[in-house]
Chain A
Amino acid sequence: MKKFTVSALAFAAAISTTAAVAGPMNDLEIAHTAYTAGNLDIRYAHLALAISEDATVREFAQTMLRDHAAVNDEAVALITKLKVTPQDNDLSKALVKGAADKRAELMGLSGKKFDCAYAQNELGYHQVVNKTVANEFIPNVTVAPLKELLSNALVTFKLHEGHAENMVKKLSC
Protein backbone atom coordinates (compact mmCIF):
# COMPACT_ATOMS: atom_id res chain seq x y z
CA MET A 1 0.00 0.00 0.00
CA LYS A 2 2.76 2.36 0.97
CA LYS A 3 4.68 1.36 -2.11
CA PHE A 4 1.69 2.20 -4.26
CA THR A 5 1.36 5.65 -2.72
CA VAL A 6 5.00 6.44 -3.40
CA SER A 7 4.87 5.33 -7.02
CA ALA A 8 1.59 7.16 -7.55
CA LEU A 9 3.23 10.32 -6.26
CA ALA A 10 6.24 9.81 -8.50
CA PHE A 11 3.90 9.29 -11.42
CA ALA A 12 1.98 12.46 -10.63
CA ALA A 13 5.25 14.38 -10.44
CA ALA A 14 6.33 12.96 -13.79
CA ILE A 15 3.03 13.92 -15.40
CA SER A 16 3.11 17.44 -14.07
CA THR A 17 6.72 17.75 -15.22
CA THR A 18 5.84 16.52 -18.69
CA ALA A 19 2.84 18.83 -18.82
CA ALA A 20 4.96 21.75 -17.69
CA VAL A 21 7.58 21.30 -20.38
CA ALA A 22 5.13 19.89 -22.97
CA GLY A 23 7.24 16.86 -23.81
CA PRO A 24 11.01 16.62 -23.89
CA MET A 25 12.48 19.89 -25.10
CA ASN A 26 15.30 20.05 -27.58
CA ASP A 27 18.39 22.26 -27.21
CA LEU A 28 16.93 25.10 -29.26
CA GLU A 29 13.73 25.15 -27.20
CA ILE A 30 15.70 25.08 -23.96
CA ALA A 31 17.84 27.98 -25.19
CA HIS A 32 14.71 29.93 -26.12
CA THR A 33 13.04 29.39 -22.76
CA ALA A 34 16.17 30.22 -20.75
CA TYR A 35 16.63 33.42 -22.73
CA THR A 36 12.94 34.30 -22.37
CA ALA A 37 13.03 33.75 -18.61
CA GLY A 38 15.92 36.22 -18.33
CA ASN A 39 14.19 38.82 -20.46
CA LEU A 40 11.01 38.56 -18.44
CA ASP A 41 12.93 39.19 -15.25
CA ILE A 42 14.49 42.27 -16.90
CA ARG A 43 10.96 43.56 -17.59
CA TYR A 44 9.94 43.00 -13.96
CA ALA A 45 13.05 44.91 -12.90
CA HIS A 46 12.21 47.89 -15.12
CA LEU A 47 8.76 47.95 -13.56
CA ALA A 48 10.27 47.89 -10.07
CA LEU A 49 12.59 50.79 -10.90
CA ALA A 50 9.63 52.76 -12.24
CA ILE A 51 7.40 52.17 -9.20
CA SER A 52 9.39 51.32 -6.08
CA GLU A 53 11.01 53.87 -3.77
CA ASP A 54 12.51 51.24 -1.48
CA ALA A 55 16.34 51.10 -1.57
CA THR A 56 16.47 47.31 -1.06
CA VAL A 57 14.00 46.68 -3.87
CA ARG A 58 15.72 49.11 -6.23
CA GLU A 59 19.17 47.63 -5.58
CA PHE A 60 17.81 44.15 -6.23
CA ALA A 61 16.15 45.29 -9.46
CA GLN A 62 19.39 46.92 -10.61
CA THR A 63 21.25 43.66 -9.97
CA MET A 64 18.62 41.80 -12.04
CA LEU A 65 19.16 44.21 -14.93
CA ARG A 66 22.95 43.97 -14.70
CA ASP A 67 23.11 40.18 -14.37
CA HIS A 68 20.41 39.09 -16.78
CA ALA A 69 21.90 41.43 -19.39
CA ALA A 70 25.31 39.77 -18.84
CA VAL A 71 23.85 36.26 -19.03
CA ASN A 72 21.85 37.09 -22.15
CA ASP A 73 24.95 38.65 -23.78
CA GLU A 74 26.72 35.33 -23.26
CA ALA A 75 23.71 33.49 -24.69
CA VAL A 76 23.62 35.70 -27.80
CA ALA A 77 27.37 35.21 -28.28
CA LEU A 78 26.93 31.44 -28.08
CA ILE A 79 23.91 31.37 -30.39
CA THR A 80 25.81 33.48 -32.93
CA LYS A 81 28.86 31.23 -32.68
CA LEU A 82 26.81 28.05 -33.11
CA LYS A 83 24.79 29.66 -35.94
CA VAL A 84 21.49 28.39 -34.55
CA THR A 85 18.09 29.98 -33.93
CA PRO A 86 16.32 29.29 -30.63
CA GLN A 87 12.83 27.84 -31.02
CA ASP A 88 9.72 29.23 -29.44
CA ASN A 89 7.74 26.58 -27.53
CA ASP A 90 4.84 26.02 -25.14
CA LEU A 91 6.86 26.61 -21.99
CA SER A 92 8.23 29.93 -23.33
CA LYS A 93 4.70 30.94 -24.30
CA ALA A 94 3.36 29.99 -20.86
CA LEU A 95 6.12 32.01 -19.17
CA VAL A 96 5.40 35.06 -21.34
CA LYS A 97 1.66 34.84 -20.65
CA GLY A 98 2.18 34.34 -16.90
CA ALA A 99 4.55 37.30 -16.71
CA ALA A 100 2.18 39.57 -18.65
CA ASP A 101 -0.59 38.78 -16.15
CA LYS A 102 1.76 39.35 -13.24
CA ARG A 103 2.97 42.68 -14.65
CA ALA A 104 -0.63 43.83 -15.05
CA GLU A 105 -1.26 42.96 -11.41
CA LEU A 106 1.93 44.68 -10.21
CA MET A 107 1.16 47.84 -12.19
CA GLY A 108 -1.98 48.32 -10.13
CA LEU A 109 0.04 48.43 -6.90
CA SER A 110 2.23 51.02 -5.21
CA GLY A 111 4.31 51.56 -2.08
CA LYS A 112 4.76 48.66 0.31
CA LYS A 113 2.11 46.57 -1.49
CA PHE A 114 4.08 46.77 -4.70
CA ASP A 115 7.41 46.09 -2.96
CA CYS A 116 6.07 42.96 -1.26
CA ALA A 117 4.35 41.63 -4.37
CA TYR A 118 7.46 42.24 -6.48
CA ALA A 119 9.79 40.67 -3.89
CA GLN A 120 7.59 37.60 -3.43
CA ASN A 121 7.20 37.18 -7.16
CA GLU A 122 10.97 37.41 -7.66
CA LEU A 123 11.52 34.74 -5.02
CA GLY A 124 8.89 32.41 -6.52
CA TYR A 125 10.03 33.08 -10.07
CA HIS A 126 13.68 32.29 -9.32
CA GLN A 127 12.69 29.17 -7.36
CA VAL A 128 10.66 27.78 -10.27
CA VAL A 129 13.16 28.78 -12.95
CA ASN A 130 16.10 27.38 -10.96
CA LYS A 131 14.33 24.08 -10.40
CA THR A 132 13.54 23.81 -14.10
CA VAL A 133 17.07 24.74 -15.18
CA ALA A 134 18.63 22.29 -12.70
CA ASN A 135 16.22 19.34 -13.13
CA GLU A 136 15.10 19.66 -16.75
CA PHE A 137 17.35 21.88 -18.83
CA ILE A 138 20.85 20.94 -17.71
CA PRO A 139 20.25 17.14 -17.73
CA ASN A 140 18.48 17.24 -21.12
CA VAL A 141 20.63 19.62 -23.09
CA THR A 142 23.06 17.87 -25.46
CA VAL A 143 25.45 20.58 -26.69
CA ALA A 144 28.34 21.01 -24.24
CA PRO A 145 28.76 24.82 -24.46
CA LEU A 146 25.03 25.31 -23.87
CA LYS A 147 25.17 23.00 -20.84
CA GLU A 148 28.08 25.06 -19.52
CA LEU A 149 26.24 28.33 -20.11
CA LEU A 150 23.17 27.02 -18.29
CA SER A 151 25.31 25.81 -15.38
CA ASN A 152 26.93 29.23 -15.06
CA ALA A 153 23.54 30.92 -15.37
CA LEU A 154 22.17 28.67 -12.63
CA VAL A 155 24.90 29.84 -10.25
CA THR A 156 23.82 33.43 -10.94
CA PHE A 157 20.11 32.67 -10.56
CA LYS A 158 20.78 30.92 -7.24
CA LEU A 159 22.51 34.07 -5.98
CA HIS A 160 19.34 35.92 -6.98
CA GLU A 161 17.13 33.40 -5.20
CA GLY A 162 19.10 33.89 -1.96
CA HIS A 163 19.05 37.65 -2.48
CA ALA A 164 15.27 37.60 -3.06
CA GLU A 165 14.77 35.54 0.09
CA ASN A 166 16.62 38.19 2.11
CA MET A 167 14.68 40.97 0.41
CA VAL A 168 11.35 39.35 1.37
CA LYS A 169 12.55 38.99 4.97
CA LYS A 170 13.84 42.57 5.13
CA LEU A 171 10.55 43.99 3.85
CA SER A 172 8.70 41.95 6.52
CA CYS A 173 5.66 41.58 4.30
Chain B
Amino acid sequence: MSAILLSASASFAVFAGAEPNTHQIIIQGGEYIPAELTIQVGDTVQWINKDFIPHTATAQDEAQQVLWDTGNLNKGDSAEVQFTEVGLSEYICLYHPVMKAQITVEAVL
Protein backbone atom coordinates (compact mmCIF):
# COMPACT_ATOMS: atom_id res chain seq x y z
CA MET B 1 0.00 0.00 0.00
CA SER B 2 2.72 2.45 0.98
CA ALA B 3 4.73 1.36 -2.06
CA ILE B 4 1.86 2.34 -4.33
CA LEU B 5 1.60 5.68 -2.63
CA LEU B 6 5.32 6.25 -2.97
CA SER B 7 5.34 5.47 -6.66
CA ALA B 8 2.29 7.64 -7.16
CA SER B 9 3.96 10.61 -5.52
CA ALA B 10 7.17 9.92 -7.41
CA SER B 11 5.40 10.06 -10.76
CA PHE B 12 3.63 13.23 -9.65
CA ALA B 13 7.00 14.79 -8.83
CA VAL B 14 8.28 14.07 -12.34
CA PHE B 15 5.47 16.08 -13.90
CA ALA B 16 5.22 18.68 -11.15
CA GLY B 17 6.43 21.43 -13.49
CA ALA B 18 3.38 21.01 -15.69
CA GLU B 19 0.82 20.64 -12.91
CA PRO B 20 -1.08 23.78 -11.97
CA ASN B 21 -0.08 25.05 -8.53
CA THR B 22 -1.80 27.20 -5.95
CA HIS B 23 0.25 30.07 -4.49
CA GLN B 24 -0.56 31.99 -1.35
CA ILE B 25 -0.33 35.73 -0.78
CA ILE B 26 -0.85 37.03 2.74
CA ILE B 27 -2.33 40.48 3.21
CA GLN B 28 -0.96 41.84 6.46
CA GLY B 29 0.03 45.26 7.74
CA GLY B 30 -1.46 46.82 4.62
CA GLU B 31 0.90 44.87 2.36
CA TYR B 32 0.73 41.97 -0.03
CA ILE B 33 3.32 39.37 0.97
CA PRO B 34 5.02 38.63 -1.33
CA ALA B 35 4.47 41.80 -3.35
CA GLU B 36 6.01 40.21 -6.43
CA LEU B 37 5.15 36.69 -7.46
CA THR B 38 5.96 34.68 -10.57
CA ILE B 39 3.65 31.81 -11.49
CA GLN B 40 2.93 29.61 -14.49
CA VAL B 41 -0.10 29.94 -16.69
CA GLY B 42 -2.95 27.83 -15.26
CA ASP B 43 -1.80 28.41 -11.67
CA THR B 44 -4.10 29.74 -9.00
CA VAL B 45 -3.30 32.46 -6.47
CA GLN B 46 -5.01 32.60 -3.11
CA TRP B 47 -5.11 35.81 -1.05
CA ILE B 48 -5.70 35.63 2.69
CA ASN B 49 -6.50 38.79 4.65
CA LYS B 50 -4.88 38.75 8.09
CA ASP B 51 -5.61 42.43 8.83
CA PHE B 52 -8.75 43.41 10.68
CA ILE B 53 -9.67 45.99 8.06
CA PRO B 54 -11.15 44.83 4.72
CA HIS B 55 -9.01 44.77 1.59
CA THR B 56 -9.27 43.63 -2.03
CA ALA B 57 -6.80 42.50 -4.68
CA THR B 58 -7.95 44.04 -7.94
CA ALA B 59 -6.39 44.45 -11.38
CA GLN B 60 -7.71 47.15 -13.69
CA ASP B 61 -6.79 48.22 -17.19
CA GLU B 62 -5.97 51.82 -18.11
CA ALA B 63 -9.67 52.64 -18.50
CA GLN B 64 -10.17 51.35 -14.92
CA GLN B 65 -12.09 48.31 -16.20
CA VAL B 66 -11.68 45.43 -13.77
CA LEU B 67 -9.58 42.58 -15.21
CA TRP B 68 -9.84 40.37 -12.15
CA ASP B 69 -10.86 40.95 -8.55
CA THR B 70 -10.96 39.03 -5.29
CA GLY B 71 -13.90 41.12 -4.13
CA ASN B 72 -14.17 42.31 -0.53
CA LEU B 73 -11.95 40.37 1.88
CA ASN B 74 -12.83 40.84 5.53
CA LYS B 75 -10.53 39.74 8.34
CA GLY B 76 -9.75 36.04 7.86
CA ASP B 77 -11.37 35.82 4.42
CA SER B 78 -9.60 34.32 1.42
CA ALA B 79 -10.26 34.25 -2.32
CA GLU B 80 -8.66 32.56 -5.30
CA VAL B 81 -8.01 33.70 -8.84
CA GLN B 82 -6.79 31.40 -11.63
CA PHE B 83 -4.46 32.93 -14.22
CA THR B 84 -5.02 31.63 -17.74
CA GLU B 85 -3.05 34.23 -19.72
CA VAL B 86 0.67 34.93 -19.88
CA GLY B 87 1.79 38.41 -18.88
CA LEU B 88 2.36 40.91 -16.09
CA SER B 89 -0.62 41.63 -13.87
CA GLU B 90 -0.31 44.67 -11.62
CA TYR B 91 -2.95 45.01 -8.95
CA ILE B 92 -4.04 47.25 -6.10
CA CYS B 93 -6.41 47.30 -3.17
CA LEU B 94 -9.54 49.19 -4.25
CA TYR B 95 -9.96 50.51 -0.71
CA HIS B 96 -6.30 51.51 -0.21
CA PRO B 97 -4.82 52.30 -3.62
CA VAL B 98 -1.43 52.86 -1.95
CA MET B 99 -1.29 49.04 -1.66
CA LYS B 100 0.32 47.74 -4.86
CA ALA B 101 1.72 44.41 -6.01
CA GLN B 102 2.24 42.34 -9.14
CA ILE B 103 2.02 38.84 -10.55
CA THR B 104 4.04 37.64 -13.51
CA VAL B 105 2.42 34.77 -15.39
CA GLU B 106 4.88 32.72 -17.42
CA ALA B 107 4.21 30.15 -20.12
CA VAL B 108 4.53 26.51 -19.11
CA LEU B 109 7.79 25.13 -20.52
Contacts and interface: CB of A to CB of B under 8 A. Distances in A.
Interface stretch (A9-17, A85-93, A106-114, A155-163): A155-163
A74 B52 contact: yes
B53 interface: yes
A9 B54 CA distance: 42
B98 interface: yes
A159 B52 contact: no
Contacts, number: 37
B29 interface: yes
A70 B30 contact: no
A108 to B, nearest CB: 30
B51 interface: yes
Interface size range of chain B in the complex: 10 to 19
Give chain A's interface secondary structure class: helix
Interface string A150-173: 001001101110110010000000
B95 A155 contact: no
Contacts of A36: none
Given A66-B54, A70-B53, A162 B98 contact: yes
Contact of B96 (A70, A73, A74, A163): A163
B51 A163 contact: no
The 5 closest A-B pairs by CB, nearest first: A162-B98, A67-B53, A159-B30, A70-B53, A159-B96
Interface of B: 29-30, 51-54, 75, 95-99
